[in-house]
Chains A and B, each alone.
Chain A
Amino acid sequence: MRNVIWWLVYAAAAIWAQKLVPGIDFLLPGLIIALQEERPIQTFWIIICFSLIQEGSGTMSFGPAVGQYLGAAVLVQAGRWLFEARNISFVLLLSAGLGLTHFGMISVMAMLQDISLIQSRLMHESIIQALVIPPCWLLVMQARKRFAPDESPA
């Protein structure tokens, strides 16, 4: 129950952060933490719920957020073979990859859905997305250790 409340509070805080910084996904650092905790059921529900939030509040047809989150899951799984998944260096690499994934996913989906995009803005937001993930990940990791110590990784 404490875990569910923690994730609800995190989602609410992330939505407010998204209101303050338009075009940036603040749910992604939480998803990375869920992936690092290696609990498949929790990860499954986090991906479903976060995807619904992003897809619902977004302006494209259903797909980009699910693709982005599945991409994050694949990158974290692939990274486990080569790196220590909870290391900040890995998170820095991962955030760069997720920035690129964001740019690629939105560009492809806009093409498929015949939507005109402002490419320069998308590029800026992808860079900001990559820069925002590591500090947010650190912050959320600390918060999770403090408020949900039983759930967070050792």
Chain B
Amino acid sequence: MLFAYLGLYTWNLRTGVLDNAASHTGLEFAGAVLKPGEWVHRSAVDFWEQYLYLVDVRQQNERLAAQVKDLSFELAKAREEQQELLRLRALNGFSAPAEWERVGARIIAQRLGSEAALDSIMLNKGYLQGAGSNTPVVTHRGVVGRIMRAGPFTATVQLITDPASRIAVLGSASRTPGILMGTGARSELVLRFVPLNAQLEEGETLITSGLAGAYPKGLPVARIVRIEHSDISLFQTVHAVPLAGIDRLEEVLLLQRPAGPHAAFHAVETPPQAGAHTAHANATR
């Protein structure tokens, strides 16, 4: 029996057949069981919040109206700067980066089952609805992670807080590059391979560099909270907190890769993940 098990295990590592079968059956069954309950829960919460629980709505409206005024001013300024950017791009012959499309999805579970060893969430969308393997997952605040396993209508996302997560990032002001690694749920992220003389500062935002091809460039990921300088290392250790508020997520956005030559580049450059890695290896072989 042990030999049969090991044989099956290694055969699956080479072919990915069993991972694929589990994604199409087990993952979909779990999704089908959880989605109706989530819908009932969401409807009940919406009903409560929209029709019954109206305390502080007036104050909230006033606060939001003031915020809209401020944002309108910033939007006008940003539009002017965007026009200037377009003119400068045209003058210098730069091509604009391809636009990534966004698709909304809801979270239906977190780390479901005993085999969810990685920090993960389950989404109510699968590869037929735009949640294919390695699709970046974000919120309006920042990066959440990327899809590591996808069935037709349900998908699992590896979070950036997972110890196996690696993201190539830049300091938004200093433009210092580094690799952002997770250290576990509710723990700080760690930025590695930052030279001792790099000009990073506490409070600076880390954004995706776009170099690895897994994420589009410029998405906010984390904010630096602590920088440690070591006497024995050539690198500083930078601690950061995720901006996406990963503990309180309910909805996320999936970023669809632009069609064309970029897509081919991403398909080759994106490092594979557990669960998806065998199928990916076959696809690129």
Once the chains bind, are A58 and B18 in contact (CB under 8 Å)?
A: no
In angstroms, Cα B120 to Cα A129, docked, is 19
> Contact residue range for chain B?
35 or more
Chain B residues in 8 Å Cβ range of A97: none
Once the chains bind, are A59 and B120 in contact (CB under 8 Å)?
A: yes
B110 at the interface (CB under 8 A from A): yes
Once the chains bind, are A125 and B114 in contact (CB under 8 Å)?
A: yes
Interface residues in A87-146 by Cβ distance below 8 A to B read 102, 106, 109-110, 113, 115-118, 121-122, 125, 129
Most buried by A among B1, B22, B108: B22
Most buried by A among B1, B113, B274, B278: B113
Chain A residues in 8 Å Cβ range of B1: 70
Per-position contact with B for A27-64: 1 when CB-CB < 8 Å, else 0?
Answer: 01000000000000000000000011111111111111
Once the chains bind, are B28 and A56 in contact (CB under 8 Å)?
A: yes
Once the chains bind, are B26 and A54 in contact (CB under 8 Å)?
A: yes
B109 at the interface (CB under 8 A from A): yes
The secondary structure that dominates the A interface is helix
Once the chains bind, are A59 and B158 in contact (CB under 8 Å)?
A: yes
Once the chains bind, are B117 and A62 in contact (CB under 8 Å)?
A: no
Once the chains bind, are A24 and B5 in contact (CB under 8 Å)?
A: no
In angstroms, Cα B26 to Cα A15, docked, is 11
In angstroms, Cα B26 to Cα A28, docked, is 15
Once the chains bind, are A61 and B12 in contact (CB under 8 Å)?
A: yes
A55 in complex: contacting residue of B18, B111, B148, B158, CB < 8 Å: B18
B115 in complex: contacting residue of A11, A106, A116, CB < 8 Å: A106
Please give the number of chain A residues whose Cβ is less than 8 angstroms from any Cβ of chain B in the complex. 43
Per-position contact with A for B238-260: 1 when CB-CB < 8 Å, else 0?
Answer: 00000000000000000000000
Once the chains bind, are B9 and A62 in contact (CB under 8 Å)?
A: yes
Chain A residues in 8 Å Cβ range of B211: none
Within the complex, the shortest CB–CB distance from A114 to chain B, in Å, comes to 8
Per-position contact with A for B87-121: 1 when CB-CB < 8 Å, else 0?
Answer: 00000000000000000000011111111111010
Query: In the complex, which residue of chain B has the Cβ closest to the Cβ of A125?
Result: B114
Per-position contact with A for B8-52: 1 when CB-CB < 8 Å, else 0?
Answer: 110011000011011111111110011001000000000000000
B184 at the interface (CB under 8 A from A): yes
Chain A residues in 8 Å Cβ range of B33: 11-12, 15-16
Chain B residues in 8 Å Cβ range of A63: 5, 8-9, 12
A23 in complex: contacting residue of B5, B25, B116, B184, CB < 8 Å: B116
Most buried by A among B28, B275, B277: B275
B156 at the interface (CB under 8 A from A): yes
In angstroms, Cα B274 to Cα A28, docked, is 24
In angstroms, Cα B278 to Cα A106, docked, is 19
Contacts A/B (CB < 8 Å), 19 sampled:
A15-B112, A18-B109, A18-B113, A19-B34, A19-B109, A19-B112, A22-B111, A22-B112, A23-B114, A54-B26, A56-B22, A56-B29, A56-B151, A59-B117, A60-B274, A62-B8, A62-B9, A70-B1, A70-B5
Q: Which 5 A-B pairs have the closest CB atoms?
A: A56-B26, A58-B115, A56-B27, A25-B114, A116-B163
Chain A residues with a Cβ under 8 A of chain B: 11-12, 15-16, 18-19, 22-25, 28, 51-68, 70, 102, 106, 109-110, 113, 115-118, 121-122, 125, 129
